[in-house]
Chain A
Amino acid sequence: MNRLYIKSRDTAQKTVEGLYKDLERRIIASPPGQCPVDLTASFLRVCHSQSCGKCVPCRVGLGQLQHIIDKILDMDQENDMEDIRLLERTAEAISAMADCAIGTEAANMVLRGIRGFREDFESHVKYHTCAEYIRSNIQAVPCVATCPAGVDVPGYTALIKAGRYKDAVKLIRKDNPFPTVCALICEHPCETRCRRNLIDAPINIRGLKRFAVDNCGDVPVPEKMDDTGKKIAVIGGGPSGLSAAYFLSIMGHKVTVFEKRAQLGGMLRYGIPNYRLPRERLQWDIDAVLSTGVEAKCNYDISSPESMAEVRDNYDAIYISIGSHNAKSIGIPGEYAKGVIPAVEMLRGIGDDAMPDFAGKVVVVIGGGNVAMDVARTAKRLGATDVSIVYRRRRDDMTALPDEIGGAIAEGCDLIQLKAPSRIETDKHGEVKALWVKPQLAGQADESGRPRPIDSSEPEQKIPCDIIISAIGQATDIRFFEEFGIPVFRGNIKAARSSVVDTVSGIYAGGDCVTGPSTVINAVAAGKVAAANIDTYLGFKHEIEVDVDIPNPDPNDNPPCGRVEMKERYAKQRGNDFDEIEQGMSLEEAMLEASRCLRCDYHGFGSFRGGRDTKW
């Protein structure tokens, strides 16, 4: 009788939706070190269940792909390389013949696998087991494995839960001498694969660390080991250089940090605004580094062959950690007009308390990274009436953290997406009048997986403004080092994964100047790696350890429970000053959050070999 019905979902469908969510979280929490062949087989099963059943290649073929992979994986079957060849030609056939994406994309996934990890397929065929590297990559504790510096997250979480904040900070410093900085601004890769994702949401690890540093009081650094008589020069006093200096100094070496600018901290001081990382908090970490006996020479530029030779002749090893502080050019007409300011220069000035006056100005920021958000929000605080962030891609494609983008918007910055800057219009005094932009379309995905912006047919648009801040990335100042004979690669210093540049003369490098602009924890990790390897290079094997026992977890059912999110001062209240935005957790919140930790160091594979590296 009725011709149409309103679509509704029955219980089964609702449950399935829930399962999809579970699956998503489960994939997020994939532990490092999974066998890619096994994973392919599992995905293939899901893909096959999605087949509508109409077409042969998908309905039958995907099942046959599964059988072939299952046979390859089966420990009891004898296989040969022909199985892999059969898998490949079948997948190629499905990819070419399936009628819709359900079939083609499943087959493409298999093909990518055969090409991307053929070694793994072959290991199963030949040895009936995963390739050896899989087992050596299996990580017991996801957060420790995903932290570049390998900080003992479950350890300090347990210490926080026990009210032992000093011990928590000591434990963090075993791997990372910047506990406060990371408590405030770390991008927390440790949270990405947190096993708690399987239940609800990752632990707020950074927030907990913040609670520890907010409440620890004074925490003395470890005692310096016996003097080795060796001298090490660190060029660049940012997080990487200071981390290396900290560990090397504890190991008993004499470390001197040469810093070009007036103060230590590198990008932490000259790149990150006070409202995210208050200077006194930064100073606390720097003071701890210096308290190990590190000597700092500020306003000391190593950029001539003579100064470099002097360093080389007087020190037993050198760590280059000069960061990546040069502005990249926008490459559009009018770029050098008055009123166009590179973001790095602006933040650098602010680092030494030279505040530009934007009162009553209309400001446009070009870029979509964290620096773009920083300068936009800073401009707002410096009195700009209007701040717009112009980006050639979409908000989703921005490299800035979602919280930073949200923060900027909340404070009144406008986001202008899919607009590529094309030229800068100036008045007769050569001052900026407007930014002209070309509207873009989000096109086919590029190598990074993000849609490539392509010019639309719409005409150029004019964005009137007084100030343009370009935040499109930084470059490393390699000119001098290149002349000195330090190898460079794609605009950065070329160093091995061991941070070594030159094994003979003991030159090491790390941090942004090797990787290009990256995160503070990556810089710290590079410093740690360099410290270990410089120590070895000098003929020692000093071990960094900490005398803190970790409490065992209490038995716990771990029911789903909300994640404690960080609170911020209200946008209207905070948007006009440089005081810190974020507020730390309360005791109640911290205890609740710490008790959510699943203690992967103790449960699961963590219990097998002790769950932690107690020294390095």
Chain B
Amino acid sequence: MVKLMINGQEVTVKEGTSIMDAAEKVGIHIPHLCYLRGLNEIGACRVCVVEIKGMKKLVTACNTACEEGMEIFTNSPRVRSLRRINVELILSDHNANCASCIKSGNCTLQSIANDMGIITNDYNNIAEKARWDLNIPLIRDASKCVKCMRCVQICEKVQDLGVWNLIGSGYRTTIGVRENNNINEIDCALCGQCITHCPVGALRERDDRLTFNDAIADEDKVIIAQVAPAVRTAWGEQIGLKDKDATMGKLVCALKKIGVDYVFDTNYSADMTIMEEGSEFLSRLSNRNRYKWPMYTSCCPGWVRFMKTQYPDMVDDLSTAKSPQQMFGALSKTYIAEKLGVDPSKIYSVSIMPCTAKKYERSVREVNSAGYGSDVDLVLTTRELDRFIRSDSIKPQDLIDMPFDDIFGESSGAAVIFGATGGVMEAALRSAYFLATGKNPDPDAFKNVRGMDGWKEATFDLAGTELKVAVVSGLGNARRLVEAVRKGEVAYDFVEVMACPGGCVGGGGQPFKDGEEKAEERAKKLYGLDKINDIRFSHENPAVKLTYSEFLDNPLSHRAHELLHTDLNSWNLDMRQDMEE
């Protein structure tokens, strides 16, 4: 332990504790911009500078360890004036058009500058010019980048793709796609983790709200929306809704107010995915020698992109079942249209997703199968939905609980946990058990795959067959697992992979706040929803049953194959939204 003084207060902390953490311990907050715990402790922005008695140089609180007897001042007149100059310098290299910035109100730099009351700046603005293809789901505005390096670190250390790197040199040093590449020509998974860790507005998703508005404006179109499970855990965070008030019913209400004709639940198609993927798994199991193992889930398009670019020889090991989003899309222009009595060509199918890669998935030409252009016409992230709600001045008190439209709002508890790491696996096992034995297991029999560990393993008995499964989230973990599989160090039957740490609840399209990692908390909400659901099994979802009895016959039927499965090998990796649509 070391004892030191911070702003006249005595603090005792463990050796190696940073000045920032020590100060926080006694309620002294030191502003910081580039710091990201465990990932980016490099003291690049120099905002967290503090004064140590006896030293001329200021030191960064984020990566300087406390030492016995230090006397630290975090707000001395000298620190104040120097830190202010530093923030002015950062602002001078930043396109601070806050009024028209997507991050306004949730921007770390804006808060720091506002809190310091910086209203004038002595320096010329030298912000770099932005050059980017705005037609790509992931948009980087170079003029706003503060070179904090967080995107580089998260992509390298957590996602193990290294899409971003420093480019240029000297004062022209900036962040770019590694080796001066074009983002559309390299192996970016479009997971969006760089976006959710950017402290400013330099990284964002392509905002498709205007396209959505055009669709609403078209009176010929019938707008059908699907809402992914993870969206309901986070949509209220930034529109002033307290957790317990941010119900699914209010989200339905909000979408209706915006102009959606039918609001359905992606959970319905998540249950369909389980039926198809679970049946596929059992079918592969009964022809064990014809397949390579394990079978991997394919509902995460970030993971699919990862597999296609990093291990193209393993694409056949992915399930051919489409993701819930795409199953819903295909069904919305076939069976659902039929049930609603709507001409499928008039349907505009929009999905609300916690995900940036979903924008890519919907634009893959090869995924469409309903015969009416794109199966999913538009993807909005949770953040875009929130922006839509705010721009319509819809206030929390204006929202009431409304039910999903009949009947594709029906869902099982198995589907809702899709949004958390391990959820797809658990849901699949619940139904696979039924499909294999004709009996339901205890719905909580497979809860060993829950939790936030990046790489989980479990072994289950499936009607006498021992199944070894694994669940990973985060592409770095995915790579470790795949490498271990390839080297023969581990062997599994079934593996669930989600590109984002913690699964979709921590998705790249979710609301976020600097310094907060909310995946765990949000996942708990999903497991709570599962627990209170009367239906815990995908195969018991009445809408699912009806879909099979009226339309598809059985899982893996010819029609199911046509509509609900896809050849991932044929998928194009082009990120650009198809312009001629």
Chain B residues in 8 Å Cβ range of A5: none
Min CB distance A305 to B, Å, is 42
Given A73-B172, A555-B52, 17 extra CB contacts under 8 A = A33-B169, A34-B170, A38-B170, A75-B168, A76-B129, A127-B180, A128-B131, A129-B168, A129-B180, A130-B168, A132-B180, A135-B166, A552-B65, A555-B64, A555-B67, A557-B57, A608-B44
Task: Tell me, in angstroms, the Cα distance from A149 to B167 when the chains sit together.
Answer: 27
A558: B residues at CB distance < 8 A: 57
**In this assembly, does A280 line the interface, its C-beta being within 8 Å of a C-beta of chain B?**
no
Distance between A417 CB and nearest chain B CB, rounded to angstroms: 42
Listed from nearest, the 9 A-B pairs whose CB atoms lie closest are A76-B129, A35-B169, A607-B42, A129-B168, A557-B56, A555-B59, A132-B179, A130-B169, A38-B170
With both beta carbons as reference points, the residue of chain B lying nearest to A138 in the complex is identified as: B169
Q: Let me know if A135 and B43 touch, CB within 8 A.
A: no
- Nearest B residue to A603 via CB reads B43
Interface flag for A47 (CB, 8 Å): no
B133 to chain A, nearest CB (A): 15
Interface string of A172-205 (1 = CB under 8 A from B): 0000000000000000000000000000000000
| Given known contacts A38-B170, A75-B129, A129-B167, A608 and B149 CB-to-CB distance under 8 angstroms | yes
Asked if B165 is at the interface (CB within 8 A of a chain A CB), the reply is: yes
27 residue pairs of the A-B complex, CB under 8 angstroms, read A35-B169, A35-B170, A35-B172, A38-B170, A38-B172, A129-B168, A129-B176, A129-B180, A130-B168, A130-B172, A132-B167, A132-B180, A135-B168, A135-B169, A138-B166, A138-B169, A552-B65, A554-B67, A555-B55, A555-B59, A557-B55, A557-B57, A607-B42, A607-B43, A607-B63, A608-B42, A608-B149
Q: What is the minimal beta-carbon distance from B149 to any residue of chain A, in angstroms?
A: 7
CB neighbors of B among A527-557 (8 A) = 552, 554-557
A420 CB → nearest B CB, Å: 46
Instruction: Give A134 to B173 CA distance when docked, in angstroms.
Output: 11
Question: Cβ of B174: which chain A residues have Cβ within 8 Å of it?
Answer: 75, 129
Q: Hey, what's the 0/1 contact readout for B29-65 against A, CB within 8 Å counting as 1?
A: 0000000000001111000000010011101000111
Chain B residues near A38: list those with CB within 8 A: 169-170, 172
A552 contact set on B, CB distance < 8 A: 65
The residue on B at minimum CB distance from A129 is B168
Q: Which residue of A lies closest to B169 (CB)?
A: A35
- Taken residue by residue from 4 to 44, chain A's Cβ proximity to chain B (1 for < 8 Å, 0 otherwise) reads as 00000000000000000000000000000111001000000
Instruction: Collect the chain A residues with CB atoms within 8 Å of residue B52's CB.
Output: 555
- Chain A CB count within 10 A is highest, among B44, B67, B169, for B169
Q: How distant is B456 from chain A, measured CB to nearest CB, in Å?
A: 28
**B interface, over-half SS:** loop
Q: How many A-B residue pairs have CB under 8 A?
A: 65
Whether the pair A135, B167 counts as a contact (CB closer than 8 A) is yes
> A34, B169: Cβ atoms under 8 Å?
yes
Within 8 Å CB of A128, what residues of B?
131
Provide the residues of chain B in CB contact with A555, threshold 8 Å: 52, 55, 57, 59, 64, 67
> For residue A37, which residue of chain B has the nearest CB?
B169
Which residues of B (65-84) have their CB < 8 Å from a CB of A? 65, 67
Residue B128 lies at the interface, judged by CB distance under 8 Å to chain A: yes
- Which chain A residue has the least Cβ–Cβ distance from B41? A607
B63: chain A residues at CB < 8 Å are 607
Contacts of B180 in A (CB 8 A): 123, 127, 129, 132
Complex formed: what's the CA distance from A33 to B64 in Å? 28
A38 to B170: give the CA distance in the assembly, Å. 8
Interface centre among A555, A557, A558 (most CB of B within 10 A): A555
Q: Which residues of the partner chain A approach B43 to less than 8 Å between Cβ atoms?
A: 607
Shortest Cβ gap from A605 to chain B (Å): 9
Q: Within 8 Å CB of A608, what residues of B?
A: 42, 44, 149
Which residues on A sit within 8 Å (CB–CB) of B65?
552
Query: B65: nearest residue on chain A (CB-CB)?
Result: A552
B19 CB to closest chain A CB (Å) equals 9
Q: Would you give the 0/1 interface string for A138-156, flagging 1 where the beta carbon is closer than 8 Å to chain B? A: 1000000000000000000
Instruction: Name the residue in B64, B166, B174, B180 with the highest tally of chain A Cβ atoms < 10 Å from its Cβ.
Output: B180
B128 near A75 with CB under 8 A, answer yes
- Complex Cα distance A109/B490, Å? 60
* Nearest B residue to A602, CB-CB: B63
- Closest chain-A Cβ to B185's Cβ sits at a distance in Å of 14
A444 nearest CB across to chain B (Å) = 35
Question: In the complex, which residue of chain B has the Cβ closest to the Cβ of A128?
Answer: B131
A80 vs B44: C-alpha distance in the bound complex, in angstroms? 34
Closest to A31 in B: B169
Q: What are the residues of chain A within 8 A of B172 when measuring CB–CB?
A: 35, 38, 73, 75, 129-130
In Å, the complex CA distance between A33 and B55 comes to: 32
Q: How far is the CA of A129 from the CA of B169 in the complex (A)?
A: 8
B144 to chain A, nearest CB (A): 14
User: How far is A429 from B160 in the complex, measured between Cα atoms in Å?
Assistant: 78
Q: Which residues of A contact B169 (CB under 8 A)?
A: 33-35, 38, 130, 134-135, 138
Docked CA distance A558–B57 (Å)? 9
Give A332-364 interface residues, CB cut-off 8 Å to B.
none
Cα(A552)–Cα(B179), bound, Å? 31
CB closest chain-B residue, reference A606? B42
Q: What chain A residues lie within 8 Å of B170 (beta carbons)? A: 34-35, 38
A126 CB to nearest B CB, Å: 10
When chains A and B are docked, how far (Å) is the Cα of A331 from the Cα of B172? 55
The CA of A130 and the CA of B42, in the complex, are separated in Å by: 24
A555 to B18, CA, bound (A): 12
CA distance A123 to B57 in the complex (A): 38
Smallest Cβ distance from A161 to chain B, in angstroms? 15
Closest residue of chain B to A38 (Cβ to Cβ) is B170
State A132–B55 Cα separation when bound (angstroms).
39
| Interchain CB contact under 8 A, A130 and B129 | no
Measured between alpha carbons, how far is A127 from B181 in the docked complex, in Å?
10
Question: Bound complex: CA of A555 vs CA of B168, how far in Å?
Answer: 30
Instruction: Return the chain B residue nearest A123 by Cβ.
Output: B180
Q: How far is the CA of A51 from the CA of B63 in the complex (A)?
A: 46
Complex CA distance for A136 and B180, rounded to whole angstroms: 11
Give chain B residues whose Cβ lies under 8 Å from the Cβ of A127.
Answer: 180
List residues of A (421-464) whose CB comes within 8 Å of B's CBs: none
Residues of A within 8 A of B57 (CB): 555-558
Closest Cβ of chain A to B425, distance in Å, is 32
**In the complex, residue of chain A having the shortest beta-carbon distance to the beta carbon of B171:** A38
Q: A residues 67-82 with Cβ under 8 Å of B?
A: 73, 75-76
Q: Which of B56, B64, B167 contacts A130 (CB 8 A)?
A: B167
Which chain A positions have C-beta within 8 A of B128? 75-76
A142 to chain B minimum Cβ distance, whole angstroms, is: 15
Question: In the complex the two chains form, what is the Cα distance from A122 to B170 in whole Å?
Answer: 18
User: Which residues of A sit under 8 angstroms from B67, Cβ to Cβ?
Assistant: 554-555
User: Could you tell me the distance in whole angstroms from the C-beta of A29 to the nearest C-beta in chain B?
Assistant: 15
Query: What is the chain B residue whose CB lies nearest that of A41?
Result: B170
CA distance A73 to B65 in the complex (A): 40
Most buried by B among A33, A73, A134, A607: A607
In residues 215-236 of chain A, which contact B (Cβ within 8 Å)? none
